[in-house]
Amino acid sequence: MNYYVFPRSEWATFHTRNFSSVTDAELDQLRSLNDEVSMQDVKDIYSPLRHLIHVKYRDYQTAEFNLSAFMGEHDYNHPFIIGIAGSVAVGKSTTARLLQLMLSRAYPDKRVQMITTDGFLYPNAELEKRGILDRKGFPESYNMDLLIHFLNNVKNNTGVVRAPKYSHQIYDIVPGVEEVLDHPDILIVEGINVLQLPTHEPIYVSDYFDLSIYVDADPELIEQWYLERFGMLLDTAFTDPTNYYYQYAIGDRKVAFDMARDVWDKVNLVNLNDYILPTKNRADVILHKTQNHVIDQVSLRKF
Ligand SMILES: Nc1ncnc2c1ncn2[C@@H]1O[C@H](COP(=O)(O)OP(=O)(O)O)[C@@H](O)[C@H]1O
Ligand SMILES: CC(C)(COP(=O)(O)O)[C@@H](O)C(=O)NCCC(=O)O
């Protein structure tokens, strides 16, 4: 009820009016840096989305300036934060990387950085201690308090901010490695939990967002993408005994895929239905994907 819903053909016309389209040279560069995404999607979907972000970013800067003037202060430089939510394996990080690239191109003098909330998962040892190793990705598997404090520090622009780093290869937090954010002007925060309501904390993660995007698709398609990504993980894992999937990679492929299907059914699909999908209608923009990740519809929140 509270969304404008645009078919792809209509959404695709929205950038041409007052913002230049991506050039062929720019497309070539994007293609080499993010070859998963179809260039037709860049033209039809992501260009208008970049334009929308431009409009929102401009409004945000004006509002920040006006509020500072009201308080008689000069410090109005807080980063603009974009949240990207959706299922495991729906393509959040691919979308986030593409937007980071496009926004860096649009604003060469701005720092556009990106972070994934995977880094705020408790390490496996802690999940095991809590008896929730099979609940990785569910709300209780994240250190939400740390995530909120992290966002608060970034938003207040207090200095260099650090976050733990997660690796799909070792299936755990990487010991001793940190993500470093250094005064971003625009920050993209990507993760399955970014639009969830808190269980204990008085503040939502989304309180820090100036724009939120939900990547949506039929769960059967997402399962297919999850299994394709799993196949790619296996292909790289068999040369690396430290890889979490090494034993699966050197073993029978059917056994490995049966295991992955089981994890999808019992963990990621349950998480999608119970905790991720219910957050869809809190997003400002919903990108709906069909076969081969093609976006067929974009919804824009009215109010
Ligand atoms: N636009 C796209 N076109 C083609 N493949 C994509 C696209 N977006 C994501 N993928 C593929 O789908 C899988 C899941 O994407 P990923 O970005 O890792 O998802 P998430 O961050 O939501 O878990 C990956 O194998 C990725 O290469
Ligand atoms: C680390 C994750 C919770 C987050 O997923 P992402 O959005 O990065 O794909 C997920 O990839 C995961 O590990 N889920 C637990 C079940 C599993 O797929 O092994």
- Tens-place pLDDT, residues 76-111: 789 999 999 999 999 999 999 999 988 998 899 999
Specify the pTM.
0.95
pLDDT at 17: 52
Instruction: Compute the half-sphere exposure of residue 234: CA atoms within 13 Å on the CB side of its CA.
Output: 19
Contacts of 4 (CB under 8 A, 6+ apart): 299, 300, 302
Cβ distance 213 to 285 under 8 Å?
Answer: yes
> pLDDT band at residue 18, thresholds of 50, 70 and 90?
very low
Is the pLDDT score of 26 beyond 50? yes
Identity of the amino acid at 210? D
pLDDT digits (tens, 9 = 90+) for 145-162: 999 999 999 999 888 999
Q: Which amino acid is at 245?
A: Y
**Does 236 or 129 have the greater pLDDT score?**
129
Quote the CA–CA distance of 120 and 133 in Å, as a whole number: 15
pLDDT tens digits, 241-255: 989 999 999 999 999
159 sits in the region (left: phi over 0; alpha: psi -120 to 50; else beta) called left
* Residues ≥6 apart with Cβ < 8 Å to 87: 192, 215, 217, 219, 222, 268, 271, 272, 276, 277
What phi and psi values does residue 285 have, to the nearest 5 degrees? -130, 135
**What ipTM was reported for this prediction?**
0.95
Report the atom number in ligand 2 closest to the C-alpha of 92. 7
Ligand 1 mutation pick, 94, 100, 102, 116, max ligand atoms within 8 A of CB: 94
- Output the six-digit token pair for 197: 């309501």
Q: Whose CA is nearest to atom 19 of ligand 2?
A: 263
Q: Which domains does the chain have, with CATH numbers?
A: 3-301 (3.40.50.300)
Element (H, E) at 225: helix 219-237
Residue ranges around ligand 1 (CB below 6 Å): 36-37, 86, 88-94, 225, 228-229, 232, 293
